[in-house]
Structure 1
Amino acid sequence: MKQSLGAKTLLFPTPVLMVGTYDAAGTPNLMTAAWGGICCSEPPCVAVSLRRARHSYDSIVARKAFTVGVANGAYMAEADYAGIASGRNADKFAVAGLTVVGSDLVDAPYAEEFPLVLECRLVHTLELGIHTQFIGEIVDVKADRDALGGDGLPDILRMQPLVYDTAHKGYHAVGPLLGKAFSIGKKFL
């Protein structure tokens, strides 16, 4: 029998997303967000939810663009730092030793060190209680060559993306393939 835990943000896992923006002064900023993910296939879109108080909030609204990097275990401390420090008070790229790369396609930066980056043009905003969901159309995906598999697509085990445990506030890695999607369930057809 299941036990009621009440209305909470308990969904497992959530991604560790590195949101890149330029602020009003043109300073690159990076923040960590766990409230986000793919939200549309055609056109390809990603959603990230931020509180209005976050430094990145006004930057996304003003620039109509953001990037989403996928953090991995090699940069776990840097990703955590970007989520606990404010870009109002520190140059998070410099402090964390991350390399700023300006997108050629959208008005936002990303960190070279993260193995996968989505470059996004803001297409919608949705007010949701204390968060605003920003929906960005993905105009390009960039990946490190060593993160790609033999098929030329990102390989989750090569990337080793961080995932976040909302209940215990911990970072985890992904494990081995358990089954092929759109295949394993065919035994019930």
Structure 2
Amino acid sequence: MKKSLGAITLAQPTPVWAVGAYDEDGKPNAMIAAWGGIASSDPASMVVSLRPSRHTYAGILKHKAFTISVCPANLAAESDYLGMVSGKNVDKFTEAGLTPVRSNCVDAPYIDECPLVIECELSEIVELGVHNMVIGAIIDVKCDDDKLVNGKHPDITKVAPMIFAPGSRAYHTIGEHVGQAFNIGKKFMK
């Protein structure tokens, strides 16, 4: 029997992404966000929901761009720190020992130590409530060479992205391979 938990944000898992933007003064900044995903495949777009009160949000509005650095498990503490303090008060990159890199595609920084980065131009903001959906057109995806499968796409086991469980507020890693998409379900096709 399933127990009703109410209308709360317990979808699992959610990503652990560092959303990067230059602040209003041009200083590199990044914050952790877990409410996000792919918004569209054509045009290729990402969505991340942010509170308008966040320092990063103001930078995204000013520069019309943001990056998503996919946080790997080996940067768990650094990633967590990015969500605990405001870039208004501290230089998060310096304090966490992370390296900001100026994107060559959009007006936003990304985290060099993160193996997978998605660079986006701001295309739309949808006001929802305490969070606004920030939608960005994907301009480029960058991945460390040694994390690619046949030089074509990121290897999830090598990128080792963290995931977040909203209810327990815990970080986890990706589990074992269970099968190939668009293949293992063929046994039900007639």
Task: Give the structure-1-normalised TM-score.
Answer: 0.98
| Aligned mates of 1:115, 1:148 — CA distance in 2 | 10
Amino acid at match of 2:67: T
Q: Describe the superposition over 1:67-103 as per-residue Cα deviations: whole angstroms up to 9, x where unpaired.
A: 0010011111010000111000000011011111001
Q: Corresponding residue for 1:120?
A: 120
| Aligned mates of 1:163, 1:156 — CA distance in 2 | 12
Amino acid at match of 2:125: T
| Aligned mates of 2:153, 2:45 — CA distance in 1 | 18
Q: Corresponding residue for 2:87?
A: 87
Q: Note the residue ranges of structure 2 that are not aligned, 5 or more in a row.
A: none
1:170 maps to 2:170:
yes
Return the offset for 1:153. Answer: 1.1
| Aligned mates of 1:177, 1:11 — CA distance in 2 | 21
SS at 1:136's partner residue? strand
Return the offset for 1:150. Answer: 2.5
1:158 maps to 2:158:
yes
| Aligned mates of 2:33, 2:165 — CA distance in 1 | 13
Tell me the matched-pair count. Answer: 189
Alpha-carbon contact 2:145-2:151 (below 8 Å) kept: no
Q: Corresponding residue for 2:17?
A: 17
Q: Corresponding residue for 2:98?
A: 98
Return the offset for 1:152. Answer: 2.4
The runs of 4+ residues in structure 1 deviating greater than 4 Å are none
| Aligned mates of 1:165, 1:50 — CA distance in 2 | 18
Q: Note the residue ranges of structure 1 that are not aligned, 5 or more in a row.
A: none
Q: Corresponding residue for 2:46?
A: 46
Amino acid at match of 1:176: E
Q: Corresponding residue for 1:56?
A: 56
Q: Describe the superposition over 1:4-61 as per-residue Cα deviations: whole angstroms up to 9, x where unpaired.
A: 1011000110000110000111000010000001110011110010001110111111
Q: Corresponding residue for 1:70?
A: 70
Structure 1 window deviating more from structure 2 (144-153 vs 89-98): it is 144-153
Alpha-carbon contact 2:20-2:66 (below 8 Å) kept: yes
Task: Give the structure-2-normalised TM-score.
Answer: 0.98
Amino acid at match of 2:53: A
Amino acid at match of 1:8: I
| Aligned mates of 1:117, 1:52 — CA distance in 2 | 23
Q: Corresponding residue for 1:4?
A: 4
Alpha-carbon contact 2:52-2:131 (below 8 Å) kept: yes
Equivalent residue runs for 1:122-161 within 5 Å: 122-150=122-150, 152-161=152-161
| Aligned mates of 1:127, 1:70 — CA distance in 2 | 25
Aligned residues with identical type, % of pairs: 52
